[in-house]
A and B are shown apart, each in its own frame.
Chain A
Amino acid sequence: MGIRFIWLVLCLVSPILAARPISYSGGSTLMAFTERAKHSVYYHYSPTYQYSLGVEGVRNRISGDEHSYVRLTYLLNRKNTQHSQRNLYLQSGIDPVDLDHHFYGVHGDWETRRLFSGFGYKYVNDQGSDYEEQFVQLGVAPYLGNYGDLHTWLMLKSKKNTLFGSWSTYPVIRLFKGNVFAEFGYSDRSQWDAHLMYRF
């Protein structure tokens, strides 16, 4: 039960998943994420647009272990221009019950209305089975929707988890409308990669 059940419920009741780790000031975000290595549900609150505090429940699909993390994400740098935005975030989390379980990392993105690029690195201390996750992601919007429309991104994602070895590259589709965001990718090696988000 636990994480898997909650994740399934979220998938049923929340038609979206999202990517941004910090919301606007006073905003909350609920996320669900699944991939070959783990299932996760994550809630965060942003006191300001510069950082968010949250809790995340993770079920390791390899070991079957479940952990809850207290998470902090900090916007290290943001550059706004007329037609683009660039962000660099630091992220960290620790299991308050078992301090040996923690992680830290960095990720960044640059996007215009047409193009997207992002990368991330995360080191996870998992009590003996430590691992690293890295990814790069490139995308293009096939059409430019207006405010309130369904927005679509076609993307390529390359990901490496040191538990599984080499890099895996696969297509990803990102959809969002209103406060709901969903991202799905699939490859033979990585299997399903899904990320849902609801912001409120």
Chain B
Amino acid sequence: MTQLMTLILLFATSCFALADEKSAHAMHEADVFIDGSAIDIDSDQLERFTADLQGGQVAVVSVMGMVCDFCARGIEKTFKRDKSVIKVDVDLAKGKVLIAFASTAPIDREAIDRKILANGQNVTAVQILSI
């Protein structure tokens, strides 16, 4: 009986959560463009992330396999060791990592690939946004 109740609880919770997720997506959906191309990112999060930046660049990295907060911790720690990186944020829903670089010098995209791979995930795209 206890097991049956637990199963029902899990199923019901899941249904409610799926409904919440759909409405949350609708609220934050907005187009963000880099070099004329739309990128799938939460515009509110990007706005908060860039609000205090004075110049530099933001790399928007699309990552496969970044399914949990715990998995993404290593990505943040790895990039924060890089002195050219000002800050890092993660959008778990979209599978994006936002990396703010202080300099306007060209960003080493292969280095980004290597650092993400060192955490066990894969990069599918890197888009650069100038601030």
A68 located at the interface, meaning its Cβ lies under 8 Å from any Cβ of chain B in the complex: no
B3 located at the interface, meaning its Cβ lies under 8 Å from any Cβ of chain A in the complex: yes
Contact of B73 among A80, A114, A199 (CB under 8 A): A199
**Number of B residues whose C-beta is below 8 Å from A?**
41
CB under 8 Å from chain B, chain A span 107-130: 111-114
Q: Measured between alpha carbons, how far is A84 from B64 in the docked complex, in Å?
A: 8
The reply to whether A111 and B17 contact each other, CB–CB distance below 8 Å, is: no
The reply to whether B20 and A85 contact each other, CB–CB distance below 8 Å, is: no
A8 located at the interface, meaning its Cβ lies under 8 Å from any Cβ of chain B in the complex: no
The reply to whether B16 and A142 contact each other, CB–CB distance below 8 Å, is: yes
A20 located at the interface, meaning its Cβ lies under 8 Å from any Cβ of chain B in the complex: yes
B105 located at the interface, meaning its Cβ lies under 8 Å from any Cβ of chain A in the complex: no
User: How many residue pairs between the two chains, A and B, have CB atoms under 8 Å in the bound complex?
Assistant: 115
Contact with B along A39-77 (1 / 0, CB 8 A): 000000000111000000000000000000000000100
Known A-B contacts A144-B17, A147-B92; the reply to A24 vs B77 at CB < 8 A is yes
B68 located at the interface, meaning its Cβ lies under 8 Å from any Cβ of chain A in the complex: yes
The reply to whether A140 and B13 contact each other, CB–CB distance below 8 Å, is: yes
Chain A residues closer than 8 Å to B124, beta-carbon distance: 82
The reply to whether A25 and B118 contact each other, CB–CB distance below 8 Å, is: yes
Contact of A111 among B10, B67, B118, B120 (CB under 8 A): B67
Contact of B14 among A140, A169, A171, A179 (CB under 8 A): A140
Nearest 7 CB-CB pairs, A to B? A80-B65, A24-B74, A49-B120, A25-B118, A147-B90, A142-B13, A80-B64
Chain A nearest CB, measured from B56 CB (Å) = 21
Q: Which residue from chain B places its CB closest to the CB of A78 in the assembled complex?
A: B120
Chain A nearest CB, measured from B108 CB (Å) = 18
Chain A residues closer than 8 Å to B75, beta-carbon distance: 24
Taking Cβ atoms with an 8 Å cutoff, the residues of B that contact A are: 2-3, 6-7, 9-11, 13-14, 16-18, 20-21, 24, 64-65, 67-75, 77-78, 89-93, 95, 117-122, 124
Chain A nearest CB, measured from B74 CB (Å) = 3
The reply to whether B70 and A156 contact each other, CB–CB distance below 8 Å, is: no
The reply to whether B69 and A176 contact each other, CB–CB distance below 8 Å, is: yes
The reply to whether B67 and A24 contact each other, CB–CB distance below 8 Å, is: no
The reply to whether A178 and B73 contact each other, CB–CB distance below 8 Å, is: yes
Q: Which residue from chain A places its CB closest to the CB of B93 in the assembled complex?
A: A144
The reply to whether B17 and A169 contact each other, CB–CB distance below 8 Å, is: no
Chain A residues closer than 8 Å to B95, beta-carbon distance: 82-83
Chain B nearest CB, measured from A16 CB (Å) = 10
The reply to whether B72 and A85 contact each other, CB–CB distance below 8 Å, is: no
The reply to whether A154 and B92 contact each other, CB–CB distance below 8 Å, is: no
